[in-house]
Structure 1
Amino acid sequence: MTTIDDVHLIEVPKAHDVRGNLSVIEGNTIPFEIKRVYYLYDIPTASVRGGHAHKNLHQLLVALSGSFDVVLKDGNSQKVITLNKPNFGLLIPTGIWRELQNFSSGSVCLVLASAEFNENDYIRNFKEFKLFKNRIS
């Protein structure tokens, strides 16, 4: 069973020179094959995104611009991680509830996912999430 201790930041390789920085996600940078890419932008500061968990999907979240907080819950514990550097991504495994909040002006959240969209993979109710976690423990 996954816990919030299984969520961690990974550093995306960065090449720097006088022209600026370049970061690349390829090969073994992340521990899953990318099947879906999407991004969130123009999000009002007071908005909350996410509010769900996945049964099978793994994700990497990257703040390409600006910053936002990711609230993580495993049914027992909670922690908040602020993303604000485009060369760091937050690796979220299956079975972790996430909420994104406190978006700065101009923030962009890139999401790399291990599977294409499948509504059946989502748990969108926190009470159902806790039942799900109790069933798999």
Structure 2
Amino acid sequence: MDEIKTSVYNCTVIELPQVESRSGNITPVTCNKEIPFNIKRVYYLYDVPGGETRGGHAHRNLHQLIVAASGSFDVVLDDGKIRRTVSLNRPNYGLYVVPGIWRELINFSSGSVLLVLASMSYDECDYIRDYSIFSKLKNGDTHNS
């Protein structure tokens, strides 16, 4: 596996379109228009107990847009050198997370719903679940990883 050369600064908050109406708002998301990838999978997290942490992994190739569909939470991004925390609390903003970034999801508000638009179908081989292996990949030490 080659070194993964992405940074937390490659991850950006994207403002999504919001069509406002007295009867409720809508936010359309179009592949390669609002977000820079094709969507292959959509999933959401909900009923996360207070104090729980989700995530705790990185991806080798997967691109994601993480949205607070309801409520709020924080995303801690880590590129092996720099940690950055992004708070999400509006359904028309999403955090674009590039491959090779360790992420942890924390501080879920009561009733929050985390929506993920992903560039790939689920593939366990794409996950890096051990931080020491992640760190070696980020720093180009491919022995034993």
TM-score for the superposition, normalised by structure 2: 0.91
Are residue 5 (structure 1) and residue 38 (structure 2) matched?
Answer: no
Higher strand share: 1
1:20: Cα distance to partner? Answer: 1.9
1:18: Cα distance to partner? Answer: 1.4
2:124 equivalent in structure 1: 119
1:57: Cα distance to partner? Answer: 0.4
Q: Which of structure 1's runs of 4+ aligned residues deviate more than 4 A?
A: none
User: Which of residues 20, 26, 36 is equivalent to 1:22?
Assistant: 26
Q: Secondary structure at the match of 2:52?
A: coil
1:26: Cα distance to partner? Answer: 1.0
Q: Give ranges in structure 1 of 5+ residues lacking alignment.
A: none
Are residue 56 (structure 1) and residue 23 (structure 2) matched?
Answer: no
Mapping of residues 1-137 of structure 1, within 5 Å: 1-27=5-31, 28-135=33-140
- Give CA-to-partner distance per residue, 1:85-127, whole Å, 9 cap, x none: 0000000000000000110000000001000011110000111
RMSD across aligned positions (CA): 1.0
Identity %: 54
